[in-house]
């Protein structure tokens, strides 16, 4: 309407101004208005003119009836979506601090079993522990076999000791920086390997 009004009065400058406005702010002029500049280029509304195949504008708002939300507890929702329970070992990637913590618990169980077996043997074995040590020595095992057995038996105790020192330092507020957490984890593994090998050689 504004374009027709300006054209009817023969005002070229306002027409040129309107073309500039239409070029910068395409939403200003209705989509049905097409302005041509001197080179014959037409400016159109990029949002569409409502003349599509469906006869509707490009952007439509759809409405649907309200459906009240159904409350579902957290566990039921996770089971419905087939999610694993969290925390879960299949969810998180294995990290060095996590592995040291898991191995610490496993070696703790093994060392506890050592203590229980030794106490049980000293109390209830008829001939004492020395007799069974003599039986093992009488098997005449080779030195490599004895070395491997010593490593298997000694590694849990040595690792639990060194990594336990690391955990005690954490409880004291020390070595909590991420760089120190990883470096002390590697050091505990190295110390375990070295000391276990030394004990096995005795």
CATH label of the domain that carries residue 165:
1.20.1300.10
Q: What mean pLDDT do residues 93-98 have?
A: 88
Whether 80 maps to a domain, the answer reads no
Position 10 in a domain: yes
Residue 103 has pLDDT above 60, yes or no: yes
Number of domains present in the structure of the chain: 2
- Domain around 106: 96-201
Minimum mean pLDDT among 50-54, 124-128, 132-136, 183-187: which range? 50-54
Q: Give the pLDDT confidence score for residue 104 in this predicted structure.
A: 96
For 140, counting Cβ atoms within 10 Å of its Cβ (0-12 exposed, 13-18 middle, 19+ buried), the class is: exposed
Both 188 and 119 in one domain: the answer is: yes
Domain-located, residue 159: yes
Strand partners, 42: 36
Residue 196 and residue 101 share a domain:
yes
Q: What is the pLDDT of residues 148-196, one digit of tens each?
A: 999 999 999 999 999 999 999 999 999 999 999 999 999 999 999 999 9
65 against 181, higher pLDDT? 181
Does residue 182 lie in a domain region?
Answer: yes
Residues 185 and 116 in one domain: yes
Q: What is the dihedral of CA 62, 64, 68, 71, to 10 degrees?
A: -60
Q: Domain check: are 27 and 106 in the same one? A: no
Average pLDDT, the chain: 78
Residues 103 and 191 in one domain: yes
Determine contact, residues 22/43, Cβ cutoff 8 Å.
yes
Verify that 109 and 183 share a domain, yes or no. Answer: yes
Is 65 within a domain?
no
Q: Which residue has the higher pLDDT, 44 or 195?
A: 195
State whether 116 and 182 are in the same domain.
Answer: yes
- What phi and psi, each to the nearest 5 degrees, are found at residue 102? -65, -45
pLDDT given at position 130? 78
């Amino acid at each position: 309407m504004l374009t027709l009004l300006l054209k009817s009065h023969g005002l070229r400058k306002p027409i040129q101004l309107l073309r500039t406005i239409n070029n910068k702010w395409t939403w200003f002029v209705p989509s049905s208005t097409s302005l041509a500049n001197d080179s014959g280029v037409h400016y159109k509304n990029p949002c569409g003119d409502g003349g599509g195949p469906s006869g509707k504008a490009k952007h439509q708002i759809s409405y649907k009836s309200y459906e009240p939300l159904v409350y579902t507890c957290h566990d039921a929702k996770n089971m419905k979506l087939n999610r694993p329970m969290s925390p879960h070992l299949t969810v998180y990637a294995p990290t060095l601090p996590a592995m040291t913590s898991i191995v610490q618990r496993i070696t703790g169980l093994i060392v506890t079993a050592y203590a229980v077996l030794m106490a049980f043997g000293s109390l209830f074995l008829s001939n004492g522990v020395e007799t069974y040590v003599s039986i093992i020595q009488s098997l005449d095992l080779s030195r490599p076999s004895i070395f491997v057995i010593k490593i298997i038996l000694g590694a849990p105790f040595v690792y639990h000791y060194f990594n336990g020192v690391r955990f005690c330092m954490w409880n004291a507020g020390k070595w909590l920086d991420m760089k120190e957490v990883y470096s002390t984890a590697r050091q505990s593994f190295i110390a375990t390997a070295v000391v276990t090998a030394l004990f096995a050689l005795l």
